[in-house]
Amino acid sequence: MILSQHTVQNYRNIERAEFCPGPGLTVICGRNGQGKTNLLESVWLLSGAKSFRGSKDQQLVRRGEPFSVLESAAQRDDGQAERYRIVIGGEGCEAAGVRTGRSAQLDGVDFGRATNLAGHFYAVVFAPTHLSLVKGSPDGRRRFVDAALMQLYPGYIAVYRRYIRALAQKNALLRDARRFEGAEQLLDSFDLALAEAGGEMIRRRKEYLEGLFAIAQKTYASLSAGSEECSFSYRPCAQDSEELLEKIHAARASELRAGCSTVGPHREDLIIKIGGEDARAFGSQGQQRSAALSLKLAEARQIARITGSEPVMLLDDVLSELDGARRDFLLGKLEGRQVLLTSCDAASFHHTPGGIWEMEEGRLHQVQ
């Protein structure tokens, strides 16, 4: 996958920018707060996913403007060229004839919601916040695997939404089930929906994570030159829909007591161990970084393996966080892919064969 052209209008602090990255490494440099991450984030949106910073769509639109427009051209690995257009409606967008949220066009054809772009533009983003994949709560790890699956299998989004909707309804009911006549019957029907969608989520998670973890483990071993072992594992809460339904039923009494749903994919976690110990509690900062980096590189390999398309790599400010050896390792692993990288420190890239762009107060220009 190669992004060849990317035009941004009224996106965050960027009034207008035109960006033409090369096929290899492209560096976006500039001081803090100038809009480098904003630009990278706007490229990420082409994947159909939402902001990797967890922002709401409205927050992406330049303050005081009703909407933003992203227009891009990319070349897929099978040689096919695609043109994307994403319009993001912000405050007051209806008056300008624009829908709220992100809407997309592909090659001039209306595509509805931008999430429908999943499966067209492949990208992997790696930012300092991804350290939380190792250090943070289970929630972030679940989001990591679900986001990867949404990109790889467009059908996963529908399954995930069905699950989340049933879960929200069930939790609302559990909160005051005692006051409802017929609550148990209604719970049965939610449980059925949860088991059906949840079983499918587990099946996808299992299949994907098996491959991902094998690659991540190897990557970690070569990062630490074989001196340390990092193991990743996923123990699903059930093997399939049937078993999940049994487990949910068995938990009925305790769920009624707790006032919320306690069994299912929304409670699962990925376990990361370094040298046999829980990486979250015992890993050093360096070990945790290596584990996060291994997961991200494995994510990229999985996309290439499953789709046949190399993803565009978006590295936000991560090089300064890595020591020299890990930096070289990362850049070495990324050869042959398009890499868009932001950095406060332009000096270390003066001799790069790739292009260098500078972002200054939302204005972008090429310096090399």
Ligand X SMILES: Nc1ncnc2c1ncn2[C@@H]1O[C@H](COP(=O)(O)OP(=O)(O)O)[C@@H](O)[C@H]1O
Q: Say what the alpha-carbon torsion angle 160, 142, 327, 307 is, to the nearest 10 degrees.
A: -30
Question: Is the Cβ of residue 72 or residue 290 nearer to ligand X in the bound state?
Answer: 72
Rounded Cα distance between 268 and 160, Å, is 14
227 binds, among Mg ion, ligand X, none (CB under 5 to 8 A by kind): none
Question: Does residue number 102 form part of the binding site for ligand X (CB under 6 A)?
Answer: no
Of these partners, ligand X, Mg ion, none, which one is at the site of residue 12 (CB under 5 to 8 Å by kind)? ligand X
Which two structure tokens, joined as six digits, stand for 86?
Answer: 């994403």
Number of residues that make up the chain: 368
Q: Which is nearer to ligand X, 35 or 199 (CB)?
A: 35
Which residues neighbour 70 within 8 Å (Cβ) at sequence distance 6 or greater? 6, 7, 8, 9, 11, 42, 45, 46, 84, 85, 86, 87, 88
Which of 1, 6, 9, 12 touches ligand X by CB under 6 A? 12
CA gap 245, 173 in Å, rounded: 18
CB of 37 to Mg ion, least distance (A): 3
List binders of ligand X among 327-366 (CB under 6 A): 359
Residue 59 contact, options Mg ion, ligand X, none, Cβ 5-8 Å cut-off depending on partner type: ligand X
**Minimum distance from residue 351 beta carbon to ligand X (Å):** 23
308 binds ligand X (CB under 6 A): no
Q: Give the span between the Cα atoms of 199 and 253, in whole angstroms.
A: 22
Q: Which of residues 37 and 287 has its CB atom nearest to ligand X in the complex?
A: 37
Q: Which of 9, 38, 290, 338 binds ligand X (CB under 6 A)?
A: 38
What's the closest the beta carbon of residue 291 comes to ligand X, in angstroms?
Answer: 25
Compute the distance between CA of residue 60 and CA of residue 236 in angstroms, rounded to an integer: 36
Binding status of residue 66 toward ligand X by CB under 6 A: no
Among 26, 37, 151, 219, binds ligand X (CB under 6 A): 37
Residue 13 binds ligand X (CB under 6 A)? yes
Return the number of the residue (41 or 200) whose C-beta is nearest ligand X.
41
Judged by CB under 6 A, does residue 320 bind ligand X? no
If binding is defined by CB under 6 A, does position 33 make contact with ligand X?
yes
Does position 34 interact with ligand X (CB under 6 A)? The reply is yes
Backbone angles phi, psi at 254, to 5 degrees: -70, -30
User: By rule CB under 6 A, what count of residues binds ligand X?
Assistant: 15
Residue 305 interacts with ligand X (CB under 6 A): yes or no: no
Q: Residue 242 or 360: which CB sits closer to ligand X?
A: 360
Among residues 6, 36, 170, 337, which is the contact residue for ligand X, using CB under 6 A? 36
Give the C-alpha separation, 335 to 343, whole Å: 18
Kindly state whether residue 72 participates in binding ligand X, applying the rule CB under 6 A. Answer: no
30 sits near ligand X (criterion: CB under 6 A): yes
Residue 47: CB minimum distance to Mg ion, A: 19
Cβ neighbours of residue 31 under 8 Å, at least 6 residues apart? 344, 360
Residue 47 binding result from ligand X, Mg ion, none, given CB thresholds of 5 to 8 Å by partner type? none
- Yes or no: say if 343 and 319 are a contact pair by the CB < 8 Å rule: yes
Q: Does 170 bind ligand X (CB under 6 A)?
A: no
Minimum distance of Mg ion from residue 156's CB (angstroms): 29
Strands 2-11 and 123-126: unpaired
Question: Contact residues for Mg ion (CB under 5 A)?
Answer: 37
Binding footprint of ligand X on the chain (CB under 6 A): 12-13, 30, 32-38, 59, 61-63, 359
